[in-house]
């Protein structure tokens, strides 16, 4: 299992994969640990998560460098990601007991109530684009709920996976609380079917989600899926087009555009479309691409060479069907998997940039006749993860949020994840919710207790 620096195309390190015996031992250890961990009081679980947060902050530079080196994230973004992971640990350390407190329900019983009990070992299949945050937003609530966590991370970020396991170990976590499995995709189905695993969460592609969900469904196991997104960024005629463009320019290329919730389809009413398009194009063209360890650069490389090829193919197919190239549009020559900030105008349904998820720094500008047309275009997608809506009338914005088919709508702001707010999608973006009180309740037994 090789880790390759996407900025240089050089092999960082070759990691040996875990064999069947190691996998079996890890599963057995997780099961043993769960039987003790599920009975630990919340205060003890919270102390562990707080120590993990302390470890992350104390070793921020090392963790951030590992992220940037393995998947190409700009170093400032890597540092922010480590800090966010510490935050989610602290959030659940401080709130899990309240989120999972028993709830009295009036019935014909003398006393009836709901309690939230842990399920057991939970398997997470995680992607490379946010190699720490995706893991911690699963692990923090899962472990605080009394479960134990096993991670099958993306094969191109093995160093990140092992560093996260080491963070728990260094914080004093019992062996088996958090386990990294260095494995390719092939053994995942068998692990999902293993009776030790009680639930599965996956963040990644639609095919991966469908495959894991089908295996889990065959053995009747709970799953949570967070898949792709083609988030609309809707700008109404009454919005400040310059302010919207100022927010849009960094929103699209964050993480070199490799974010499920990054704005991808910029749907703008005709009245302000020219102004918005010019402002967005100017700002995108000014972004600097290069070595992600150099703080002068805002964009690093894409994570792999095949991702550059796929993205460029989507751009070319969009242009061939009538889209206008306004800036960018050609892979950067030389070493590294770099793609420039790109803006496409005159994009319409039926084009790749509209219909498909573009996982890279490509913004598609779509013109709408009016508000109704803008909402229709926003919903004309197989995805439904997040949406951003820009208007001078916030009361109207709240009303229109009900018309947008997505797991989240941000009015006059870019879509982001926050430990305090539920996160997840509908349609082909998946199901279930992470974060907040709803997230920690995904992998517990919601148990009714009736007492005469």
Handedness of CA 104, 106, 111, 114 (dihedral sign): negative
Catalytic-role residue among 260, 277, 434, 442:
260
Enumerate residues 6+ apart whose C-beta is below 8 A from 13.
Answer: 2, 3, 158, 159
In SS3 terms, the chain reads as CEEEECCCCEEEEECCCCCHHHHHHHHHHHHHHHHHHCCCCHHHHHHHHHHHHHHHHHCHHHHHHHHHHHHCCCHHHHHHHHHHHHHHHHHHHHHHHHHCCCEECCCCCCEEEEEEEECCEEEEECCCCCCCHHHHHHHHHHHHCCCEEEEECCCCCHHHHHHHHHHHHHCCCCCCCEEECCCCCCCHHHHHHCCCCCEEEEECCHHHHHHHHHHHHHCCCEEEEECCCCEEEEECCCCCHHHHHHHHHHHCCHHHHCCCCCEEEEEEEHHHHHHHHHHHHHHHHHCCECCCCCCCCCECCCCCHHHHHHHHHHHHHHHHCCCEEEECCCCCCCCCCCCCCEEEECCCCCCHHHHCCCCCCEEEEEEECCHHHHHHHHHCCCEECEEEEECCCHHHHHHHHCCCCCCEEEECCCCCCCCCCCECCEECCEECCECHHHHHCCCEEEEEEEEC
Catalytic-role residue among 226, 356, 434, 442:
226
Handedness of CA 272, 278, 283, 289 (dihedral sign): positive
Is residue 89 among the annotated active site residues? Answer: no
Is residue 277 among the annotated active site residues? Answer: no
Residue environment code for 199-237, b if the CB has 16+ CB neighbours within 10 A, otherwise e: bbbbbbebebbebbbebbeeeebbbbbbbbbbbbbbbbb
| CA–CA gap between residue 418 and residue 415 (Å, rounded) | 10
Enumerate residues 6+ apart whose C-beta is below 8 A from 274.
Answer: none
Strand 444-451 with 231-235, pairing: unpaired
| CA–CA gap between residue 220 and residue 203 (Å, rounded) | 20
Positions marked catalytic: 226, 260
């Amino acid at each position: 299992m090789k880790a390759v620096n996407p900025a240089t195309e050089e092999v960082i390190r070759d990691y040996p994969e875990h064999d069947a015996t190691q996998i079996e031992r890890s599963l057995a250890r997780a099961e043993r640990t769960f039987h003790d961990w599920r009975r630990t009081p919340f205060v003890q679980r919270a102390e562990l998560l707080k120590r993990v947060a302390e470890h992350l902050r104390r070793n921020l530079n090392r963790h951030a460098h590992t992220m940037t080196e393995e998947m190409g994230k700009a170093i400032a973004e890597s540092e922010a990601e480590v800090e966010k992971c510490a935050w989610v640990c602290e959030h659940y350390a401080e709130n899990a007991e309240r989120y999972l407190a028993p709830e009295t329900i009036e019935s014909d019983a003398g006393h009836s109530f709901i309690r939230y009990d842990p399920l057991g070992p939970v398997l997470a299949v995680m992607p490379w684009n946010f190699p720490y945050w995706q893991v911690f937003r699963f692990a923090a609530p899962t472990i605080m709920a009394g479960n134990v966590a096993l991670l099958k991370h993306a094969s191109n970020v093995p160093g990140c996976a092992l560093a996260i396991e080491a963070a728990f170990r260094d914080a004093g976590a019992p062996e088996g609380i958090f386990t990294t499995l260095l494995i390719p995709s092939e053994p995942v189905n068998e692990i999902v079917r293993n009776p030790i695993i009680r639930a599965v969460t996956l963040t990644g592609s639609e095919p991966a989600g469908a495959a894991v969900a089908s295996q889990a469904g065959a053995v009747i196991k709970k799953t949570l899926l967070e898949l792709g997104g083609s988030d609309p960024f809707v700008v109404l005629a009454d919005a400040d087009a310059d302010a919207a463009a100022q927010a849009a320019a960094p929103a699209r290329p964050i993480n070199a555009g490799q974010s499920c919730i990054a704005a991808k389809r910029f749907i703008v009413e005709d009245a302000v479309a020219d102004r918005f398009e010019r402002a967005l194009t100017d700002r995108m063209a000014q972004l600097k691409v290069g070595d992600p360890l150099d703080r002068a650069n805002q964009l690093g490389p894409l994570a792999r060479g095949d991702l550059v090829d796929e993205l460029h193919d989507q751009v070319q197919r969009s242009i061939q069907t009538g889209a206008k190239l306004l800036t960018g549009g050609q892979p950067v020559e030389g070493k590294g998997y770099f793609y420039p900030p790109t803006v496409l105008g005159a994009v319409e349904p039926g084009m790749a940039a509209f219909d498909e998820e573009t996982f890279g720094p490509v913004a598609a500008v779509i013109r709408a006749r009016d508000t109704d047309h803008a909402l229709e275009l926003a919903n004309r997608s197989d995805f439904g993860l997040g949406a951003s809506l820009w208007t001078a009338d916030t009361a109207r914005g709240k009303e229109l949020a009900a018309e947008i088919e997505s797991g989240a709508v941000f009015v006059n702001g870019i879509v982001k994840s926050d430990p305090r707010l539920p996160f997840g999608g509908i349609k082909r973006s998946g199901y279930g919710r992470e974060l907040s009180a709803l997230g920690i309740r995904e992998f517990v037994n919601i148990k009714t207790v009736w007492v005469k």
